[in-house]
Amino acid sequence: MPIVNEKYENFWNRVIVDNQFGKNFKIDQRKSICHLHLPKIIKNDKFGHLIYKKGDYIRNQYEIICTLGEGTFGKVALVSDKIRRHDAPQTQALKIVKNIEKYREAAKLEINVLKMIKKLDTKQKSNCVNLIDWFDYQGHICISFEVLGSSVFDFLKNNNYQSFPLEQIKSISHQLLKACKFLHENHITHTDLKPENMLFIDSSFVTLYDKSTSKRYMKVKKTAIKLIDFGSATFDHEHHSSLISTRHYRALEVILNNGWFQSCDIWSIGAILFELYRGFTLFQTHDDKEHLAMMQRILGPIPSNLLNKSKVYFLNDGKLIYENNSPLIQYVHKQCKPLKDYMLARSEQHLLLFDLIALLLNYDPNQRITSKAGLDHSFFMEMS
């Protein structure tokens, strides 16, 4: 067993008797230091990621098991908490943010939101991810969470973009609206709702066979989800950045630079519901001008009063600048069609779903349905 030097023996003595932590640890937990690694020199790669390997320890507490994922912000590792408090799970997901100032600052803002959610959601009914702890590990902000399953997007991708069954769409969308209602009532806008930021609590599945296509597909067993990634979340009283949301889920008012508020989340939910239903994004574009042209093809003309408020370069006297027979318009007409033409059936439940999507994608943010009203929509009539 490793020899414990005096410095770290004194440290653990302090932890055990400390007023803040003492009641959360047993005396014999000090013995666990025998199998903890003493601190080593921290190294980062050229992108600012913390360099680690399986079996390494972070803060002499979290043992690295494996990497769960990686993003622009940093990495998420599966870890075992060797000195956990009585109410914390041993296995946790640890978000390790890059040691780069802009990501550090974003992480601190995310922590503020997560702490507020934790304070307000004492019974964990909000469908938002649960914060366990956070700390600064030599320049790397680390945030620990409960371990969840795969994202809705990853499940969709791994299922060859097979759309979800209607009853599962109903369950997922109801939870999404419920989470949004909780956030909005507490003066928080998520600003980056998308399938990648919706995680199944348990993504285990059964494999079924579709006779009509002669293909196998996956069906998730439990549809319970939680929202993650509050790095861009904004309180009502805070500065609102002009550019928010991932392109495919970005509301009209954001593109037009008309200012935004909580209803931009509602637009994102409308785009998400369509994607769950068809398996592909509604607005498949990476260009503002093309995006607006697609909106008009799918949802109808954009009201002139909304266009007149905007000062973006591709508008002139409240009209989009392009020729009727331009390559852009030809492409949009070929790739897109009116919203209801995407329906796979005309039964009542399909009609109700598309009625809800249309309300969520209302151009006018002041007239767009709220999360509370959305939960009362007839599409959810049979839900308790």
pLDDT in tens, 244-260: 999 999 999 999 999 99
Q: Phi first, then psi: what are they for 253, rounded to 5°?
A: -65, -30
**Interatomic CA distance for residues 89 and 82, integer angstroms:** 10
pLDDT band with cut points at 50, 70 and 90 for residue 316:
low
**In Å, how far from its chain's centre is CA 231?**
9
CA atoms within 13 A on the CB side of 235: 12
Bridge partner residues of 49 (DSSP): none
Q: What superfamily does domain 152-380 belong to in CATH?
A: Transferase(Phosphotransferase) domain 1 (1.10.510.10)
Smallest CA-to-CA distance from 179 within 170, 168, 190 is with: 190
Give the model confidence (pLDDT) of 116-129 as tens digits.
999 999 999 999 99
Does 18 have pLDDT greater than 80? no
The H-or-E segment that residue 137 falls in is strand 131-137
Amino acid at 12: W
Catalytic residue among 81, 192, 229, 265: 192
**Interatomic CA distance for residues 7 and 97, integer angstroms:** 28
Q: Give all strands (DSSP E) within 269-384, no chain letters.
A: 315-316, 319-320
Domain boundaries, the chain: 36-145, 152-380
- Name the DSSP class of 202: -
As given in the structure block, the two tokens for residue 258 are 């008309």
Q: What is the mean pLDDT of residues 5-23?
A: 43
Amino acid at 207: T
Q: Phi first, then psi: what are they for 321, rounded to 5°?
A: -90, 95
pLDDT band with cut points at 50, 70 and 90 for residue 14:
very low
Give the model confidence (pLDDT) of 329-347 as tens digits.
888 989 999 999 999 999 9
**Catalytic residue status for 81:** no
**Torsional sign, CA 354, 360, 364, 370:** positive
Give the model confidence (pLDDT) of 140-165 as tens digits.
999 999 999 999 999 999 999 999 99
How many other C-beta atoms lie within 10 A of the C-beta of residue 72?
9
Which of the listed CATH numbers 3.30.200.20, 1.10.600.10, 2.60.40.1250, 3.90.25.10 matches domain 36-145? 3.30.200.20
Q: Phi first, then psi: what are they for 189, rounded to 5°?
A: -110, 125
Does 22 have pLDDT greater than 80? no
Give the model confidence (pLDDT) of 256-315 as tens digits.
999 999 999 999 999 999 999 999 999 999 999 899 999 999 999 999 889 888 877 666
Mean pLDDT of the chain: 89
Does 186 have pLDDT greater than 90? yes
**In Å, how far from its chain's centre is CA 72?**
14
Give the model confidence (pLDDT) of 161-171 as tens digits.
999 999 999 99
Contact 202, 255 (CB under 8 A): no
CB contact set of 181 (below 8 Å; sequence gap of 6+): 370, 371, 372, 375
Q: Give me the pLDDT at residue 163, please.
A: 96
How many other C-beta atoms lie within 10 A of the C-beta of residue 27?
9
Q: How many residues does the chain have?
A: 384
Q: Which long-range contacts (CB under 8 A, 24 or more apart) does 9-14 make?
A: 9/33
**Least confident span in 18-22, 66-70, 312-316:** 18-22
Amino acid at 278: R
CB contact set of 328 (below 8 Å; sequence gap of 6+): 289, 290, 293, 322
Q: Give me the pLDDT at residue 205, please.
A: 98
Contact 321, 314 (CB under 8 A): yes
